[in-house]
Amino acid sequence: MHDNLTERSKRILEAIIEDYIATAEPVGSRTITRRHGLSLSPATVRNVMADLEEMGFLSSPHTSAGRIPTDKAYRFYVDGLLEVRKIARDEREEIRKRCILTGKDIGDVLKETSRMLSSISHYTGIVVAPRFAANIFRHLEFVKLGGKRILAILVSQNGTVQNKIIKTDDELDAADLVRMSNYLNEMLNGLTIAQVKQRLMEEMRDEKNKYDALLARALKLSQDTLADTDSEMFIEGQSNILEQPEFADVTRMKEIFRAFEEKNQLLGLLDRCLEARGINIFIGSESHLSQMAGVSLITSTYMTGKNTLGVLGVIGPTRMGYSKVIPIVDYTAKLVSRLLEVE
Amino acid sequence: MHDNLTERSKRILEAIIEDYIATAEPVGSRTITRRHGLSLSPATVRNVMADLEEMGFLSSPHTSAGRIPTDKAYRFYVDGLLEVRKIARDEREEIRKRCILTGKDIGDVLKETSRMLSSISHYTGIVVAPRFAANIFRHLEFVKLGGKRILAILVSQNGTVQNKIIKTDDELDAADLVRMSNYLNEMLNGLTIAQVKQRLMEEMRDEKNKYDALLARALKLSQDTLADTDSEMFIEGQSNILEQPEFADVTRMKEIFRAFEEKNQLLGLLDRCLEARGINIFIGSESHLSQMAGVSLITSTYMTGKNTLGVLGVIGPTRMGYSKVIPIVDYTAKLVSRLLEVE
DNA sequence: ATTAGCACTCGAAAATGTTGAGTGCTAATC
DNA sequence: GATTAGCACTCAACATTTTCGAGTGCTAAT
């Protein structure tokens, strides 16, 4: 792929990208020869740069400025040129220290993970909580709150909890609730949440269940509990974005922040990452979200066993330190996987 | 109070404040006489303005600009001049429509409330989840996750749920867990969480309990569950702040966003509001938080019965539309109170 | 194929000019 | 004595011009 680029062009392109990542300023032919030990004259470099621009790897803000890499260049860089460093020992320590929290519920751990990702990368951290459907059912409990309000609590194997307040048509007494949950726990034990949904449907269709009022109630209640459980998302360190010179312009910044608040769109993007396991990188326009122009996303999936649970990653400018951030995201995903594993 | 201000000065001060709230531009003597039907000449107004500046109600950015109100002026305005409008019918409808969500847990409702506050006020909405300590204990449940990990679930009367993963020294079987929670539920029924903590302490000290291993375990476990439950906070619509001209400057904005991320400091401030019931207003420097310069906070408490549960409100520039926002916050707090009331 | 040399481009920053809203003061007016 | 017209003065904001230099593309020499 891209065999049409000579070794020299690649080296120069790489130098330009790395320089731009470091400085956020358009890179000129002079700078390249000076800062990177290329034994070429600026003039030669200029010729190569002109070719690279022709091919769509570089663009110039105006005639007499240097060049900046395009999304295509970053993609080429990430796919080929970049050699991913191993994670630094101290980074690894930091990650471990901040993720391993005992005595906190899953949500707190993931939130802290997101915060950690942001502070260690200096960009914005993002963690999508486990998709409930992939989890394994563990326990269902109904607590009577008062009157006709019941709190349904659904617990999955790895400790994720989902609550819902359900209003019933008439009062149920506590004993009934216990019987109902006992029955359901028995029936649903060991299934994934997705299978649970399935099973409930089947049971409700089953003729014989329609005659047991309590049972029918129980089924209805648990189905209500499972209805539209939207996944949670933790975005932390948004203000780190403000440090990036490319967002000094207020209008650009507004866009980004709006994008962060529009969590649904982001979720859509992250869902795409769910499908492919492991590291995933979206560069600028590749996300096909207009607000994400100039922004890159590095994600990885975390999982228990062979079950993909969720996604986590880092959002930063396209001009981000890929070689540093990729191993961080990678290591974090693996660590979180391990934490959620049932010991 | 402030009897030293003549009626006329008050009218002029009011006009300046309202003009500044509307335009965000320093107000000149000319403008005042034109826009507000004062039958005075600019020159007279200038004299009054000079007096007001002397007294600390106004300041001028530079010699040849108009005046802008100081925090002291806003305080005077809020305390005396401002007559709070009743909430508009359509606003009331909007609030109701967006807060009354069935089939969602409390957290979701409060988050949506925060979002609603931001979108209806055009500033930033903030909701602090009920302090757990003030809630009434309803139910405690232990779910075995696998190995030595137990998920403790604590439910309060109004449907707030708190989970915690607890690691035990050795395995407990499911039946034991049920017995433990039955016992505890019996013992703690009807107490407030604060009382529950108290009671657990007493029981643990009690000699006779030390000989029942299981019981001792149960007590320890529930105490772990209750340890350091930090209150959750929902801040929504942060990007609305970006619309405010006074934060067009990137440095100012960074400060604000950092402040939002430093939730602890904010929580401290909001805790102060918890103590005083009803509407509470912090204007700029009054909060004694440097990052909050130029920012005002309007809050109100929500409660069930005579129990103060939490705080909600709006954060905006000091130059915010107090007369519009105050009734919104007030009404929302009352509505949320009603929603959390056990029906 | 590479590179030195050179005219040219164009944004950024500094220097300069212009404008107008606003002020404070004084003296005339009600 | 309070109010106001009048006027000189101030100063940020905006527009215009100038300067500067990093960077380019092209050509001709190496």
Q: Using one digit for the tens of pLDDT, what is the confidence trace for A76-96?
A: 999 988 988 899 999 999 999
The band of A247, judged by pLDDT with boundaries at 50, 70 and 90, is: confident
- The confidence score (pLDDT) of residue A2 equals 46
**Quick check: B120 pLDDT over 60?**
yes
Contacts of A271 (CB under 8 A, 6+ apart): none
A164·B248 Cβ contact <8 A? no
Residue A343 pLDDT greater than 70, yes or no: no
Would you kindly state where each structural domain of chain B is located, as residue ranges? 7-81, 89-130+231-340, 133-226
Report the pLDDT value the prediction gives residue A43, as an integer from 0 to 100.
Answer: 93
The single-letter code of the amino acid at B195 is Q
Q: CB of B111 under 7 A from strand C?
A: no
d(CA A184, CA A176): 12
Per-residue pLDDT tens over the stretch B249-274: 888 888 899 999 989 899 999 999 98
Put simply, the answer to whether B143 touches A151 (Cβ < 8 Å) is no
Q: Residue range B118-126: average pLDDT? A: 97
DSSP assignment of B15-83: HHHHHHHHH-SPBPHHHHHHHS---S-HHHHHHHHHHHHHTTSEE-SSTTS-BEE-HHHHHHIIIII--
- Encode burial over A57-83: b for 16+ CB neighbours within 10 A, e otherwise: bbeeeeeeebbbbbbbbbbbbbeeebe
Q: What is the pLDDT of residue B313?
A: 98
The arithmetic mean of pLDDT across residues A173-187, rounded, is 88
Q: Which residue is nearest to nucleotide D24 (CA to C1')?
A: A64
| 3-state secondary structure at position B12 | helix
Bridge partners of B304? B307
Which has more pLDDT, A328 or A250? A328
The type of residue at B4 is N
The 3-state secondary structure of chain A, one letter per residue: CCCCCCHHHHHHHHHHHHHHHHHCCCECHHHHHHHCCCCCCHHHHHHHHHHHHHCCCEECCCCCCCEEECHHHHHHHHHHHCCCCCCCHHHHHHHHHHHCCCCCCHHHHHHHHHHHHHHHHCCEEEEECCCHHHCEEEEEEEEEEECCEEEEEEEECCCCEEEEEEECCCCCCHHHHHHHHHHHHHHHCCCEHHHHHHHHHHHHHCHHHHHCHHHHHHHHHHHHHHCCCCCCEEEECHHHHHHCHHHCCHHHHHHHHHHHHCHHHHHHHHHHHHHCCCCEEEEHHHHCCHHHCCEEEEEEEEEECCEEEEEEEEEEECCCCHHHHHHHHHHHHHHHHHHHCCC
Q: Is the pLDDT of residue A279 over 80?
A: yes
Least confident of A137-141, B177-181, B205-209: B205-209
Fold of B89-130+231-340: Beta-Lactamase (3.30.450)
Could you list the protein residues whose CB lies below 7 A from any atom in strand D? A 26-31, 42-43, 46, 49-50, 53, 60, 63-67; B 8, 39-41, 43-44, 47, 61-65
- Per the model's pLDDT, the better-predicted residue between A340 and B93 turns out to be B93
Work out the percent of chain A whose per-residue pLDDT is above 70: 97
Nucleotides of C under 7 A from a protein CB: 2-5, 8-11, 20-26
Handedness of CA B6, B7, B9, B14 (dihedral sign): positive
User: Which residue in A53, A72, A58 sits closest to A26, CA to CA?
Assistant: A58
B67-83 pLDDT, tens digit per residue, is 999 999 999 999 998 98
Chain D nucleotides reached by a protein CB under 7 Å: 3-6, 9-12, 21-27
CATH superfamily of A89-131+231-340: GAF domain (3.30.450.40)
Rounded CA separation A310/A300 (Å): 9
Using CA atoms, how far apart are residues B333 and B278, in angstroms rounded to an integer?
9
CA distance B294 to chain A (A): 19
Q: Looking at the domain B133-226, which fold is it?
A: Enolase-like; domain 1 (3.30.390)
pLDDT at A208 > cutoff 90: no
Which member of B155, B167, B237 has the closest CB to residue A143?
B155
With CB atoms and an 8 Å threshold, state whether B161 touches A151. Answer: yes
Stretch A239-257: mean pLDDT: 87
Amino acid at A92: R
Could you give phi then psi for residue A242, rounded to 5 degrees? -65, -25
Answer yes or no: do A102 and B159 touch at CB < 8 A: no
Residues of B within an 8 Å Cβ radius of A:
102-107, 138-139, 141, 143, 145-149, 151, 153, 155, 157-159, 161, 163-167, 224, 227, 236-239, 242, 248, 250, 253-254, 257-258, 260-261, 342-343
* Torsion angle (degrees, nearest 10) of CA A21, A22, A28, A32: -110
Residues 6+ apart with CB under 8 A from B177: B142, B143, B144, B150
* Minimal-distance CA residue of chain B relative to A138: B145
Among A35-49, B18-32, B42-56, the range scoring the smallest mean pLDDT is A35-49
Residue B183 has pLDDT above 60, yes or no: yes
Q: Which residue of B has its CA nearest to A142?
A: B139
Q: How does pLDDT run across A30-61, given as a tens digit for each residue?
A: 999 988 877 888 999 999 999 999 999 999 99
What's the CA gap between A220 and A205, in Å, rounded?
11
CB < 8 Å to A106, chain B: 165
| A76-85, A169-178, B50-59, B188-197: range with lowest mean pLDDT | A169-178
Task: Identify which has the larger pLDDT, A337 or A158.
Answer: A337
Question: Which range is least confidently modeled, A218-232, A265-279, B81-95, B285-299?
Answer: A218-232
Average pLDDT over residues B174-197: 89
**Confidence check: pLDDT of A71 > 90:** yes
Distance from CA of B3 to the nearest CA of A (A): 44
* pLDDT reading at A3 higher than 60: no
Amino acid type, B293: A
Q: Do A103 and B166 touch (CB under 8 A)?
A: yes
> Which sign does the torsion angle of CA A91, A95, A96, A98 carry?
positive
Strand C contacted by B229 CB (< 7 A)? no
Q: What is the DSSP letter of B318?
A: S
**Do the Cβ atoms of B319 and B24 come closer than 8 Å?**
yes
Q: pLDDT-derived band of residue A20, with 50, 70 and 90 as boundaries?
A: very high
Taking CA–CA distances from B241, the nearest residue in chain A reads A254
Residue A318 phi/psi, 5-degree rounding, is: -55, -35
pLDDT score of B48: 96
Q: Is the CB of A7 under 7 A from strand C?
A: no
Determine which of A154, A163, A223, A255 to mutate to test the interface with B (most B C-beta atoms within 10 Å): A163
Asked if B151 lies within 8 A of A159 by C-beta distance, the reply is yes
Q: How many residues in total does chain A contain?
A: 343
**Taking residues B125-153, what's their average pLDDT?**
88
Confidence at residue A1, expressed as pLDDT on a 0 to 100 scale: 47
pLDDT band at B248 (very low <50, low <70, confident <90, very high): confident
B294-327 per-position pLDDT tens digit: 999 999 999 988 888 899 999 999 999 999 999 9
Confidence of residue A18 (pLDDT cuts 50, 70, 90): very high
Q: Indicate the average pLDDT of chain A.
A: 89
**B49 CB closer than 7 A to any strand C atom:** yes
Nearest to A48 by CA among A29, A23, A21: A29
Interatomic CA–C1' length for residue A49 and nucleotide D1, angstroms:
81
**CATH architecture label of A7-81:** Orthogonal Bundle (1.10)
Under the banding of pLDDT at 50, 70 and 90, the label for residue B2 is very low
Half-sphere exposure of B293 (CA within 13 A, CB side): 7
Across the strands, what pairs with A142?
A: A152
Q: What is the pLDDT of residue B71?
A: 96
A168 touches strand C (CB under 7 A): no
| Interface probe with A: pick from B165, B225, B340, most Cβ of A within 10 Å | B165
Residues 6+ apart with CB under 8 A from B204: B216, B219, B220, B223
Contact assessment for residue B340 and residue B130, using Cβ atoms and an 8 Å cutoff: yes
Which of A105, A146, A148 has its CB closest to that of B165? A105
What is the structure's pLDDT at A229?
A: 67
From the number of C-beta atoms within 10 Å of its C-beta (0-12, 13-18, 19+), residue A272 rates as middle
Mean of pLDDT values over B25-37? 90
If we measure between CA atoms, which residue out of A296, A165, A298 comes closest to residue A224?
A165
pLDDT-above-90 percentage for chain A: 51
Mean pLDDT of the A260-280 span: 90
Asked whether strand C has any atom less than 7 Å from the CB of A182, the reply is no
Q: What pLDDT is attached to residue B228? A: 67
How far is the C-alpha of A213 from the C-alpha of B288, rounded, in Å?
A: 60
Listed residue (B275, B278, B277, B281) closest to B330, CA to CA: B278
**Mean pLDDT for the stretch of residues B122-149:** 88
At CB < 8 Å, which residues of chain A contact B?
Answer: 102-106, 138-139, 141, 143, 145-149, 151, 153, 155, 157-159, 161, 163-167, 224, 227, 236-239, 242-243, 248, 250, 253-254, 257-258, 260-261, 342-343
Q: Is the dihedral of CA B85, B66, B23, B36 positive or negative?
A: positive
- The answer to whether residues B143 and B166 touch, using CB atoms and an 8 Å cutoff, is no
Whether the per-residue pLDDT at A274 is higher than 80: the answer is yes
pLDDT at residue A342, as a whole number: 58
